Chains A and B, each alone.
Chain A
Amino acid sequence: MEQAPENATAKDVIVPPSVLIGLAGIFLAFLRLGCTAFGGGTAGWLYRDIVVRRRWLDDATFLTMLGVGQALPGANGLKATVLIGQHLHGATGAISAFLGLLSGPFVIILIVGAVYGEIGEHPILHAVLDGIAAAAIGLTFDTGLRGAVHGAPGLAPLAMTATTVVCVGILRWPILPVIMGLAPVSIGLVLARRSRR
């Protein structure tokens, strides 16, 4: 970055792919992101920082990267982090970005956990954490509900969501056999509906 010419900082210039962004630069950018991305939704934070602010990628490349990981397990923000790191600096770039994103939150949560351990049993602390948990459960429910209602329209996907909730949430079955049982049915239904058209 330090060798970049003066005009490269102009707002309308995307860093060209030929300019290799250093591993330390990638690590630090994602370290900062990891420490500031609160409340989930890391993908949105990534977009604002990497695409809008730093201009390391253009919109289309970023959206392609988000799309690639959609069918795979893992948090969208983390998958996009790996792909952006790879795009910027190959395999070592992917590792730098991955470790950068995780190390800040890792250290912070251990410090917070140590403070929690020191305070120990305290009724007001538990009450505060109950309130935080309730709000965070609301965030998780909202994401799940939006995925169920807006993700794929129709009754069959809703039935798939409901069956998953019954099996995992209510009957408390392990996730592996539930996914192995439901995924082929759900994917098969999508294919069947396509072929009918």
Chain B
Amino acid sequence: MRDHPGENLIALALIFVPLSLLAFGGSNAVLADIEHQTVSVQGWISAREFADFFALSRATPGPGSMLTALIGWKVAGLAGALVATLGLYTPAAILVYGASRVWGRWRGATWHSAIERGMAPIAAGLLLSGGVAVLRASPGGWPVWVAAAVATAALWQWRRLPPLALIAAGGALFGVVSAFYR
């Protein structure tokens, strides 16, 4: 971490603002880069904190990865949390606002739907990579990999499974097992 707090705020903005414009498929699509930049390159948080922040952000409400707020807080307090969160969400919001003003007359154009259809499989790949990034960072070891695979299979089988119930079940199962076997 740098000595001057302002430098940390600039470093946070430099990481999250570009990622905002790359988040095809939502903020979970850029988890791999967030992990790489904040854990490996900057060393702001440990792999354990990254995995825990991810879990906390998915167990609380919100439109995506509020783990950015926790990373920002760790780096530079409230100002850091604000810079990281607004950095990740504002550029994409401004882009869609601007695009909507001209998009209307493009709608149905060949190249517009080609971008839409062309970016969809890349967005899917980014989301899968985001999941892999958290798995690799998680210090929980093989039980986490197995539980993630089981959760994926269950969701694939039962589409209507409520996300919050699955999250509560995962936390309860791991908590109870660790309380009895340690």
Which B residues are CB-close (under 8 A) to A65?
Answer: 100
Q: Is B135 among interface residues, defined by CB-CB distance under 8 A?
A: yes
Residues in chain A near residue B162, CB distance under 8 A: 39
What CA separation (Å) do A90 and B103 show in the bound complex?
16
Residues of B within 8 A of A110 (CB): 69-70, 73, 78, 81
A-B contacts at CB below 8 angstroms, number: 371
Docked CA distance A99–B94 (Å) = 13
**Across the interface, do B125 and A165 meet the contact criterion of CB distance under 8 Å?**
yes
> Is B5 part of the contact surface with A, judged by Cβ < 8 Å?
no
Question: 1/0 per residue B117-154: CB within 8 Å of A?
Answer: 11111111111111111110011100110011111101
Q: Does B99 contact A (CB under 8 A)?
A: yes
20 A-B interface contacts by CB (under 8 A): A38-B163, A39-B164, A74-B23, A74-B26, A75-B63, A86-B100, A101-B63, A109-B67, A128-B174, A129-B52, A132-B167, A136-B134, A140-B127, A142-B156, A148-B124, A157-B121, A168-B129, A179-B24, A188-B118, A194-B110
B residues lining the A interface (CB < 8 Å): 18-33, 36, 48, 51-64, 66-67, 69-70, 73, 78, 81, 85, 89-90, 92-93, 95-97, 99-100, 103, 107, 110-112, 114-135, 138-140, 143-144, 147-152, 154-156, 162-164, 166-167, 169-175, 177-179, 182
